Amino acid sequence: MPTPLFAIAAGMSVANVYFAQPLLDAVARDFALPQAAIGGIVTATQLGCGLALLFVVPLGDLLERRRLMLAQALLLAAVLAAVGMVGSAPLLLAAMLLTGLLGTAMTQGLIAYAASSAAEHERGRVVGATQGGVFVGLLLARVVAGAIGDVAGWRGVYLCSAGAMLLLAALLWRRLPVLARGKASMAYPALLASMFALLRRHRVLQVRGVLALLMFAAFNVFWSALVLPLSAAPYGFSHTAIGAFGLVGAAGALAATWAGRLADRGRERQVTLAALLLLLLAWLPLALMPLSLWALVIGIVLLDLGGQAIHVTNQGMIFRTASEEHSRLVGAYMLFYAVGSGLGAMASTQVYAHAGWNGVCLLGGGISLAALWFWAATRRLSD
């Protein structure tokens, strides 16, 4: 059972979706984009994520998974190479959309692949390890992008990743187990339509999906704007240094493992309230960044702790509803994530262009407050 391969491949796949965040200033200079518009790069990537969740991830229930993973890895390598050579802003946005689509499709497909290939008694461990690879990929994406970007420019990041994906494709073809073709009893259009039927039917998915949308919007308001003040005076940090701030959030995100254990004990309401309060509280030290970088570090830890605790609790509650529908449930849930991430990124850079860092923090705090209000208004419907 190639569990480490699943984890590594999932981490490499998801990293491609987040490479752009610490490089936005360099990309903007290359294409002469105004500050208010560069959030569109992240938004295009998140739009691709949403399309993947709707139209590509369900293919794992219909096609032979190893061939599907190989095709997606090769296509992703080609798209990443195109990002590294593209010459106009419209083509860049199109290539970033495809990067989000294929990177997300591979990541979620590998998680489902790992679950399908594992024996019943080890499925939780294998899926957990693969999810761990996704988490590491998210954390390292900004660091790797910043380090390579300082040496070879932002285009070098994507060209290097294209080469890495080609090597990964060869490894996947040689090492992944061959599974039977998907056993879905419905045609592809019906399979896609069933995701919306699930959304209409499951109140928990509806409420927790909106919470995820607001939480990920607040999350991306912060991360999409952070590169702009840190790369300018008085800091003038390198992309490597800016990317390294992503590692700071590891402490908070890892600490959020308590959320799953408490939720298993029936304490979802208390966990959600504590996480939403942390998410809101985080914006106070983040707003103090111009006075102290230590305040920024504290804010990142609180933001990641609150956000990850909400995410873990959401998934735990959603997966209790119908065991035979988990793949489509997670696809529908992650659609909320993609919408929130894209909207947060776009709004963040526009607000920064007009109101600076204080405006960004007010926006993020307002979204976090809206999430707290929404949960308070709907908690009896889902908890």
pLDDT band at 125 (very low <50, low <70, confident <90, very high): low
Burial of 159 (0-12, 13-18, 19+ CB in 10 A): middle
Q: What is the pTM of this model?
A: 0.76
Residues 336 and 349 in one domain: yes
Q: What's the rounded mean pLDDT across residues 40-65?
A: 85
Q: What's the rounded mean pLDDT across residues 157-186?
A: 85
Number of domains in the chain: 2
Residues 232 and 365 in one domain: yes
Phi, psi of 202 (to 5 degrees): -100, 105
pLDDT band at 273 (very low <50, low <70, confident <90, very high): very high
Residues 252 and 320 in one domain: yes
**Which of 160, 185, 210 is where one domain is finished?**
185
Question: What are the pLDDT digits (tens) for 63-84?
Answer: 888 899 999 999 999 999 999 9
**Which of 158, 185, 212 is where one domain is finished?**
185
Mean pLDDT highest for which of 133-142, 175-184, 322-331? 133-142
**Which of 185, 213, 239 is where one domain is finished?**
185
Residue of 185 and 81 predicted with greater confidence: 81
Residues 151 and 214 in one domain: no
Among 58-67, 128-137, 177-186, 242-251, which is the least confidently predicted range? 177-186
Residue 353 has pLDDT above 60, yes or no: yes
Residues 162 and 202 in one domain: no
Question: What are the pLDDT digits (tens) for 308-339?
Answer: 788 778 877 776 655 456 667 777 888 898 88
Residues 103 and 24 in one domain: yes
Q: What's the rounded mean pLDDT across residues 246-271?
A: 72
SS3 186: coil
Question: What are the pLDDT digits (tens) for 194-244?
Answer: 888 888 888 888 999 999 999 999 998 998 899 889 988 888 888 788 878
- Cis bond upstream, residue 229 (ω within 30): no
Residues 150 and 198 in one domain: no
Nearest to 13 by CA among 161, 163, 223, 179: 161
Residues 21 and 43 in one domain: yes
Residues 44 and 12 in one domain: yes
Radius of gyration (Cα) for the chain, nearest Å? 20
Q: Which domain holds residue 196?
A: 186-383
Residues 85 and 104 in one domain: yes
Q: Could you tell me if 192 and 335 are in contact, meaning their C-beta atoms sit under 8 angstroms apart?
A: no
Residues 195 and 151 in one domain: no
Residues 142 and 16 in one domain: yes
- What's the CATH number where 116 sits? 1.20.1250.20
